Amino acid sequence: MATAILDININEGDTFVMSLEFWSDADNTIPIDVTTDTFYGSFLFGTKTIPMTITKLTPATNVIEAVVAYSQMGDLPKQGKYDIDQLTAQGERYRVIQGVVRTNAEVTV
């Protein structure tokens, strides 16, 4: 499986939410069932790792949502990186998506 590369901007102090859909065709008509798979993801800013909470959205069988609470999103450097990995029910591990994270500084408290 090829890894998607998507650089993102996040807002310091905001809750982070990213949804991903899995399809087996280019027209997005045949979903890939990921209900038995496990997903792991995190941000990395220097030596600071911020884990993502990843859940499967139901009733869809092909959608996951990655969330980081706003309480973990404070005092961030200007740039870091992130990735989300998939561990299939068959024991195969894939990096699904990765990229650079740019932080928009918080100015309102």
Q: Which CATH number fits domain 4-103: 3.30.450.20, 3.40.1190.10, 2.70.98.90, 2.60.40.1930?
A: 2.60.40.1930
Per-residue confidence band for 109, with pLDDT thresholds at 50, 70 and 90: low
Q: What is the pLDDT of residues 71-108, one digit of tens each?
A: 999 889 999 999 999 999 999 999 999 999 999 988 77
If DSSP codes are grouped into helix, strand and coil, which group holds residue 71?
Answer: helix
Can you give the pLDDT at residue 30? 96
- Predicted confidence at residue 73, as pLDDT, reads 92
Query: H or E segment at 51?
Result: strand 48-51
pLDDT tens digits, one per residue of 16-69: 999 999 999 999 999 999 999 999 999 999 999 999 999 999 888 999 999 999
* Domain boundaries of the chain, sorted by first residue: 4-103
